Chain A
Amino acid sequence: MKGKRIVPILILGIFLIMNAPLGLGAEIEISASVDRTVIGLNQPFTLTIEISGEKANAAGDPQLPDLSAFASYLGSSGTSQNIQIINGRMSVSRSFSFTYMATAIGKFTIPAAVIKYGDREFRSQPINIEVVASGQTPGTQPRRTPQPQPDQSLDAAIEDNLFLRVTANKRRVYVNEPVILTYKIYTRVSVTQFGINKLPETPGFWVEEFPGSNQPATHEEILDGKRYIVAEIRKMALFPTDAGTKTVSPMSIECDVRVQTRRRSIFDSFFDDPFFGRTVRQIVTSKPVTIEVMPLPLEGKPSDFSGLVGSFNLTVTADKQAVKTNEAITLNVKISGKGNIKMIPAPRLELPPDFERYEPKVSEKIDRTENGITGYKNYEYVIIPRYPGQQRIKPVTLSYFDLGTGQYRTLRSPEMLIDVEKGSDEFMTVATGLSKEEIRLVGKDIRFIQLASPEFKRIGHWFYQSAYFVLILLLPVVLIVVAAGYRRHLDKLAENVAYARSIRANQMAMKRLHHAKKLLSEKTQKQFYAEVSRSLMGFLGDKFNISAAGIITDEVENLMRSRGVNEAVIKQYLTCLQICDYQRFAPANSRLDEMQRFFEQAKQAIIELEKIV
C-alpha cells in the first residue's frame, strides 16, 4: 500500500489521519479532509477520505463527491489500512487519497463523501475550500506559531508517533566496501517542517552523499501494525577506510509537529481543524549504527592492488592502429564499475620508450543510485610515436577486490599493436626533440670530405710499438754515455800531463818512426838510427812522464823494471837502444836490409811496451 504524494513546498506537509476512534466507536465513521484549503489555480490538492469503525472493512469503497465544478480528478494517490485491536475489539481504519487539480477560481464546497453499509448511508462533513490565482497561495504557507513550550504530556504522545530510523544495508563489510545508510522519518503526526540538528559523525569512513531532494518523497509504511508516513531524508554511502568496529554517531533532527488535540469536549470540532492545532518543536534522534569492518584478505593480494573494492571493467582503446611518426594517437583507458570509483588509481601505461606522452586528461562520472555508487573514470592519453616500426603497447592491468566472489581479480587489457610508418617529414622528426641551438645545427649540412691525399697507416700498427721507436729511445742513451766518456777523457787530458803524454806517446812515437822510415837509406844511416833512438826514448819518456833528454840507457832498465815491465820486453827494448847507440857513435857499414830489420824490431819493441804500460 504505497502511494506518493507530491508536496510542493519545503514543509513536509503530511496530513495525518490520526488514531482510529477510541473507545466504543460507532460502527462506521467517515470523514473527509483536504491537505490544503487554499489552493492555487492549476495546483493539485489531495482529498482524503477515512473510514473507520468496527465495520469499516465490511463497508465498500466510498463514493467520491463530485468536484467537477472546480477541479479535475487526477487519480488515486493511495489507500491505506490500519487495523487496531483494543480491548478485544477490532477497529479498522481505511483511508483513500485522491488527487485533484483546481481548475476554477472561487470559493467552493467539497460535498460530503458517502459510504453505504447495509442499507445505511454514512456521510462526511462537507469542506470549504478556496481556489486562488496561481502564485498567490497564502494558505500554503502555514502560519508559524511562536516557539511553543514543550508540553510533557504532548511529548510523550508524539514520541511514539515520530521517530528517526536509520538502516544500513550491511553490518559486516570489507574495507572500502560501501555501506548505504538511510535515514528515514517515521511519523504518525503532522510534521510541518524539519531541519537537521546534528549530522552523524562518521570517523573512519569516506562518505559519498546521495543527493537529497528538497522535497523528500514520502510513502506509507506499516510498522508494528501502525501506519506511518515515511520520508527518506538522508542517504549516504560510507566507504570504510580501515578495518575495525566503527560507530556512526546518531543523527538528530528538529521537527515542528502540529498537534491535534482531540479532546472530547464541546470545542472538539473547533480544535479538529488542523489550522488551529498547536505546533510543537520536537527533537528526534536516531540510534547509532555499528559496522564491523573486515580487513581485505591478504591471500592472493596482487602487487598492484591499490584498495579498489567492488566490481570493475577495464577498456583500453586507441583511436588509430596505424599512424605515421609524429602523429598523435589518443589512447583511452576507461575503468567503469561499481565501488569506490574515486579511488581508481591512474593506470600504469607502459609505452615503448620512443613514444612521447602527455599528461592524461582525467574525467570521471559518479552515479549514486539505489544500488550504490557506480560510474567510471576515464584517462585520455595523447601519445606520439617518434620512431617507425610495429610498436607494442603493453597490457594495462588493474587489480580490485571482487565483493561478489570475495577474491581479488586482475583485469588485463589486451596488448595493443600499433604500426608506425615513417613520416615524410623526417628531418622535422629529429628536430622536434631538440633545443633551439640544436635546431640551428640541423639546418646545416655536414662538412665536405677531405680531398688531400692522406698518409696511410697500417691498422693496429703503431709507431710506439715499432723497433724504430725503441731504437730512437736507445740512441740518445748511447750518445749520452759516449759523450760522458769523451768528457772524462778530455778532462783527464786537461788535468793530467802524464795522462796526456801517455795518451800521445803512441802518436809521437809513430810519427818519429814514420820520419825514421824516410831516412831509411845507406846515406842517412846515422840520422836513421838517431831518429829511431829518439822515438824509442821519447815513447819511454812520454809513457813514464819523464824528460826524454834526461834518460841514459843504464837507467832505462831500472825504470822499466820498477814499472813491472817483463824481462823479455826490457831486453828487446834495451837491445834496440844499444844497437842505435852503437850505430850512431861507432860507424859501421850496415846494409839496407839490416836497417829494415832493425826498424821492424824497434817498432815491435814499442808496440810490445804499449801493450804492457
Chain B
Amino acid sequence: MKFSFGVNMVLKWKNKLCWALVALLLALVIRPVRADHNQYLFEQANRLYQQEQYTEAIARYLEIINSGYESWQVYYNLGNAYYKSRQIGRAILNYERAARLNPKNEDIQFNLQIANLSVVDKIVIPPQFFLSRWITTIKMLWGIETLTFIVIGLYLLVAVLIILYILVRKRAIQRLVSVGLIPLVALLLLVTIILIVRTHDQNSVRDAIILSDKIEVLSSPDEQGTELFALHEGVKVRIEDTRENWARIRLPDGKVGWVKRDSFEII
C-alpha cells in the first residue's frame, strides 16, 4: 500500500534513525573487554604505589598505556610514581600528558608545578600580551574530548530549538527560541573554533620534555656545532623541525638550537 510521500518518508527514516541512535548509545556504553584488564592493572599499580614500590607501579601504568589506552588518571599517577623515584623529566612529561587530556585539573597542575621546581634551568618566559594570554586560557579550558561533547551538546540544543521553532506555532515558544538561538549559535561557533584550533595544535604543534640529565644545545645539527647553552632534565621545549638524529628546539624565551633526538620525548 502506498501512502502520501511526506508521511511515508518520515516513517521510513524513523526506523533507521532509531537503530542508529541505539547503536550509538550501545557503542558509548559498552566498553571493550580490554578496559577491564586495564582497570585491573590500574588498581594493582595504585596498590604498588601505596606500598612505595614505585618501579613496579611504573611498569603497570606503562602496560596500560602500551596497550593503546590512556586516561589522564593513568598519566597523572605515572607522573607521581616517576616523581617519587626522582625521575623528574619523566614525571613532568606524564603530568603534561595528563594536562593535555584534562587541562583544568587542579591536582595535575599542582604536581606539575612541584615537579617543575626541581628543574635546574629557570627559563624566564617573556610576558605575553594580555589578549593572547586570555586566548590561551580560553583555549586550554577543556580537553579535546570534553570540547567535542560540548560542541555536540550545543549543536543538538540548537537543532532542538530550530525544530521547536519550526513545529510549534505558539507565540511564547517562538519568541523564547528566537531570543535564545543567537547566543547559542555564537557559543557553538566559538567552541567549535576552539576545538578546531586544539585539534590542529594536537596534530601540528609538538612540545617535548628533555629527559637527559644534561644536554648541550648546539648551533647546528651535527657534533661540531658550537655549544649555545645547556639544558637539563625536565625543561619543556617546542620541537620545530627534525632532521635525521637531530631536532631543532625552541625555548619559551625564544632561544633556538639543535639537540639529539634521543634526549627528549614528545608530550
Contacts and interface: CB of A to CB of B under 8 A. Distances in A.
A and B part of one assembly = yes
Interface of A: 352-354, 386-387, 389, 430, 433-434, 438, 441-442, 444-459, 462-464, 468-469, 471-473, 475-480, 482-489, 503, 506, 610
Contact of A450 (B7, B13, B76, B158): B76
Task: Give 5 closest A-B pairs by Cβ, nearest first.
Answer: A476-B159, A454-B71, A454-B73, A456-B69, A450-B73
Interface in B13-49: 13, 17, 20-21, 24, 27-28, 31, 34-35, 38-39, 42-43, 46, 49
Interface stretch (B106-114, B126-134, B239-247): B106-114
A451 B229 contact: no
Nearest to A607: B2
B199 A468 contact: no
19 contacts: A386-B120, A438-B117, A446-B111, A449-B49, A449-B76, A455-B71, A456-B69, A456-B70, A456-B71, A458-B69, A458-B70, A463-B145, A464-B148, A471-B20, A476-B155, A477-B159, A482-B9, A483-B166, A483-B167
A446 B115 contact: yes
A455 to B, nearest CB: 6
Given A446-B114, A454-B74, A489-B6, A472 B13 contact: no
Contacts of A451: 46
A353 B229 contact: yes
A473 B151 CA distance: 10
A469 B27 CA distance: 12
Interface of B: 2-4, 6-7, 9-10, 13, 17, 20-21, 24, 27-28, 31, 34-35, 38-39, 42-43, 46, 49, 64-65, 68-74, 76-77, 80-81, 83-84, 101, 107, 110-111, 113-115, 117-118, 120, 122, 144-145, 148-149, 151-152, 155-156, 158-160, 162-163, 166-167, 195, 199, 213-214, 229-230, 232
Given A389-B214, A472-B156, A478-B13, A446 B163 contact: no
- Residue with the greatest number of chain B CB neighbours at <10 A, chosen from A352, A386, A457, A489: A457
Given A482-B13, A488-B6, 8 more contacts: A352-B230, A441-B113, A446-B83, A446-B115, A456-B71, A456-B74, A463-B145, A471-B24
A439 to B, nearest CB: 9
Contacts of A454: 42, 71-74
A441 to B, nearest CB: 6
B117 A434 contact: yes
A387 B69 contact: no
Contacts of B4: 503, 506
A473 to B, nearest CB: 7
Contacts of A455: 71
Contact of A480 (B70, B162, B199): B162
Given A453-B42, A454-B42, A483-B166, A387 B232 contact: yes
A117 B80 CA distance: 115
A457 B69 contact: yes
A538 to B, nearest CB: 18
Contact of A441 (B2, B71, B114, B166): B114
Contacts of B17: 475, 478
Dominant SS among interface residues on chain B? helix
Nearest to B121: A353
Contacts of B24: 468, 471-472
A484 to B, nearest CB: 6
A469 B151 CA distance: 10
A484 B166 contact: yes
Given A442-B117, A454-B42, A487 B166 contact: yes
A459 B155 contact: no
Contacts of B69: 456-459
Contact of A457 (B71, B113, B230): B71
A503 to B, nearest CB: 6
A453 B83 contact: no
Contacts of A354: 120, 214, 230, 232
A600 B234 CA distance: 87
Contacts of A450: 73, 76-77, 107
A432 to B, nearest CB: 11
B55 to A, nearest CB: 15
Nearest to A489: B6
Contacts of A478: 13, 17
Nearest to B86: A426
A449 B46 contact: yes
A459 B27 contact: no
Contacts of A487: 166-167
A408 to B, nearest CB: 24
B95 to A, nearest CB: 9
Nearest to A449: B77
Contacts of B118: 430
